[in-house]
Amino acid sequence: MCGIVGYAGPKPAAPLLLNGLAKLEYRGYDSAGLALLTGNHHLNIIKKAGKIGNLIAAVKAAKVPASITSGIGHTRWATHGQPTDQNAHPHMDCSGRVAVVHNGIVENYQHLKKQLQDKGHQFRSQTDSEVLAHLIEEQLKKHPWKEAVRRSLAQIQGTYSVVAVYEGEPHTLIGARSGGGALVVGWGKGETLLASDVPALLAHTRRVSYLDDNEMAVVTPTGPSFLNVLTGKPVVKKVSEIEWTAEQAEKGGYPHFMLKEIMEQPRALEDTFTSRLDPRTGSVVLEGKFWDSPFIGKFKKITLLAMGTSYYAALVGKFLLEKYLRIPVDVENASEFRYRNPILGKDTLAIVITQSGETVDTLVALREAKAKGARIATICNVMGSSATREAEGVLITRAGPEIGVASTKAFTTQLGAFWLLTLFLAGKRKTMPVSELKKKAKELSRLPQLMAGLLKQRKSLEKIAHEYAHYFNFLYIGRGIHYPIALEGALKLKEISYIHAEGYPGGEMKHGPIALIDSKMPVVAIAPKSSAVYEKMLNNMEEVKARQGRLIALVEKGDKLAAAKADAVIEIPSVSEDLSPILSVVPLQVLAYEIAKKKGREIDQPRNLAKSVTVE
């Protein structure tokens, strides 16, 4: 989600770093900053909230000399702490001699921060990342620069891509990675670069090495050296030649942002759970005082407000919240909400669900709910957005920036967030036994791995897509908690392929849609065996086949009974009914993508659609 650029070489560092950050703007960010190392061992930090233009103006005002030829830059996407100048990266130690930039999450930062404060360290920001600078400061009292960084990283629990600089060694940058997103070393001629993605490097070199987990790069103008963070032993890295265009590089080598974001879903879901979900105890921690307020134990009703894909996530959320909290939950289309004088009160928790946090209809609904006395929370992907500023409680999904207009990883992380919220509230209100909380938490923790395995089916889905891309109409059917997945699957297909598609509850088919079914009407049936209405879904599938409908069945692996009824079969792993929507939607996303690709559509920017809808 954040962007990192580092440079050691003969060229003026400031413009080079700013240009590199601009190449990473697609990643999404809300502040930006530079740390520049002068020849006289002085560390100059310049950082600003907002867009890179603000940072460019600040660098210009500072009259940074061209003689500064080493430094690091960062674009931050806020997680811990609001997007302010103070919380922007780079972060410094107390002495002002060390600066770090960081992507990822330091899960044990509160513990480390307390230890450091007890030793007299003064913190300037609200971020988890700042602890890294202070840890290095402590280690520098006993160890040289490289070893101080390595020993500091060994204390971190969580994920990181880090680049650090030290005024004592102004032409030596140190980068390291452990599950916190990519970190790439660029091999130039008389210069070396670091970046979180190759677009920032392509103007200078196409020769790169990728850091793996627990690896560290020591970067100087004459080249990099590599070592293992845990052992300190040298590592030999392969040098690769980048063949992508700049546009392709921004997509990580994928032909479309949508496919990249589909493939990122295991990581995004894991990030959403990280530091919040404890599978050993079943406990969930949500950030912010609101979630610990007395209101959380007293409210009597939940109203969910959303639009589009987020609305379908809310429909799944309704199933979970009602089942495990045993309180009424309404799901409202945000664009219609304020026009019917809805009934809410002080005992209502209104939750707005929005990827961007800026969808105007959703914001208007939020304000209407607040005006009627409801307490407001949001499930959102963008910290610092309007929705997060106006809500009392915030649950960030950590999907990272989603550039493709058709939402994919935002949806699955929203479902993950609803599970976090459900387990958190059920634990607070004691509506689920501890044994059940533990069981669900353990199952949830396995989902990213299962999802990664599911994505290996792309070739089989491509084959199905090629067979069905010439049809003009599709029906998607599901029952219970899978009905919203039918809606979302149909939406994905219509958004990017321009094929007419509708989602229906399986039981609704005989009340009208069944009249449409013939040999020219493919039907996608979502029929996992774990469903409480599995037998009824099998009946619906029989109704399709009796009318010569073309049936694509999404079934659990090994379910020969359901598979035998279908013309094409998509398999998902067997999980409990309530968790299966997170998995079952993924192949439907891939199917829509492959059909749209077969038809030659503009997948990332489908006609008439925008990523963030800012008009009513």
- Do 477 and 503 touch, CB atoms closer than 8 A? yes
Q: Determine the Cα–Cα distance for residues 57 and 43; give it in Å rounded to an integer.
A: 19
Instruction: Give every CB contact of residue 338 below 8 A, 6+ residues apart in sequence.
Output: 364, 365, 368
d(CA 459, CA 450): 17
Q: Where are the alpha helices (DSSP H) in 264-307?
A: 265-273
Phi then psi dihedrals of residue 182, to 5 deg: -70, 150
Active site residue 611: yes
Which of the following is catalytic: 2, 23, 492, 494?
2
Catalytic residue list contains 380: no
Which of 237, 301, 370, 611 is an active site residue? Answer: 611
* Spatial contact of 391 and 565, defined as CB atoms under 8 Å apart: no
Contact by Cβ (8 Å): 475, 483? no
Compute the Cα dihedral for 314, 318, 320, 324 and give only its sign.
Answer: positive
Contact 322, 329 (CB under 8 A): yes
| Helical ranges in 79-153 per DSSP H | 109-118, 130-139, 145-153
Element (H, E) at 387: helix 386-390
- Report how far residue 153's alpha carbon sits from residue 355's, in angstroms, rounded to the nearest whole number: 32
| 266: DSSP letter | H
What is the C-alpha separation between 85 and 521, in angstroms, rounded?
Answer: 56
Taking Cα atoms as reference points, which of 239, 258, 530 lies closest to residue 411? 258
Residues with Cβ < 8 Å from 527, sequence gap 6 or more?
534, 537, 538, 541, 553, 554, 555, 559, 562
3-state secondary structure of 527: coil
Q: 137 phi and psi, to 5 degrees? A: -55, -45
Active site residues: 2, 611
